[in-house]
Amino acid sequence: MVVVNAYEICQEFAFGLWRLWKNRNEVVFKGLHRQPLEVLDLWRKNINEFREATDSVEGDVEAKAKGNHPATARTTPHRQRPKFGTIKINTDAAWCKDSRRAGVGWVGRDFAGVLQAAGGTGTMLCQSAAAAEAIAIRSALSACINHGFNHVIVESDAQKIIQMIRKEVSENFNLDCVLGDIKILARMLTSVTFAFVPMESNQAAHLVAKYVLKEGRDFTWDNIGPTFLFNTLVQDVNLLIRL
């Protein structure tokens, strides 16, 4: 007897609609026409990526450098939106203690919560989780310059790193080079604010950091975005649509 998983069927149907929508955008905005079999392959790849990204991480893959802030309740996060013309950049890092490998990710959204760009690097080697968190912020600032985001708010759930950047606590001398780069990059933007957010409000960047670490490559996405981010992005703007 074959047991049919209704949730997986609905998931595959939703991804089919998502893939058709993405293909339509590629035709309209990029003039890219795909063959039917290629569309099916991408559909299957999107489903697998999403299911892998939403699985729990096994083993000691991540060690986070968080401040000693009180634990927040596990409720749906309320995302503070930036002013019109300002891009909010969330950053995060995933670090493997054994291999010293790190994945750093960032996600940029506008005042309406609409994705503008996202990306990450999965080829970093870091001596600590704190270094990985700082590098994530540096990578995000560099991406802002490349994308022309001149007014930005940078958010991270690494409280100590944000406090160092804002000169609220003494800097860790092991992070001098990265923190120095952050200051230089920040001066190249018209306006930039650094803010701490709890982990529950930083899930999009967290998913990107996990994904690039697993893949071990560099990624940049446009405003269509990767499929595995869809649910988190729509949740942050209080939409009921889910894949």
In the block, tokens 């930005």 appear at: 152
Say yes or no: 48 and 126 in one domain. Answer: no
Name the residue type at position 154: V
Q: What is the DSSP string of the chain?
A: -PPP-HHHHHHHHHHHHHHHHHHHHIIIII-----HHHHHHHHHHHHHHHHHHHSPPPSS-------SPPPPPSSPPPPPPPPTT-EEEEEEEEE-TTT-EEEEEEEEE-TT--EEEEEEEEEEE-SSHHHHHHHHHHHHHHHHHHHT--EEEEEES-HHHHHHHTTSSPPPGGGHHHHHHHHHHHHTSSEEEEEE--GGG-HHHHHHHHHHHHHTSEEEE-TT--GGGHHHHHHHTT-----
Nearest Cα neighbor of 142 from 104, 173, 113 is 104
Residue 65 placed within a domain = no
Say yes or no: 156 and 225 in one domain. Answer: yes
The CA angle 130-136-140, to the nearest 5 degrees, is 150
Per-residue pLDDT of the chain (243 residues; tens, 9 = 90+): 344 455 667 667 777 777 777 777 778 777 888 888 888 888 778 777 666 655 543 343 444 444 544 443 334 444 567 888 999 999 999 999 899 999 999 999 998 888 999 999 999 999 899 999 999 999 999 999 999 999 999 999 999 999 999 999 998 888 999 999 999 999 999 999 999 999 998 999 999 999 999 999 999 998 888 888 887 877 765 555 455
Q: What is the pTM of this model?
A: 0.68
Range of the domain at 219: 87-236
Say yes or no: 120 and 21 in one domain. Answer: no
Say yes or no: 16 and 102 in one domain. Answer: no
Determine the pLDDT at residue 75: 40
Residue 135 placed within a domain = yes
Number of domains forming the structure of the chain? 2
Say yes or no: 16 and 99 in one domain. Answer: no
Name the residue type at position 158: A
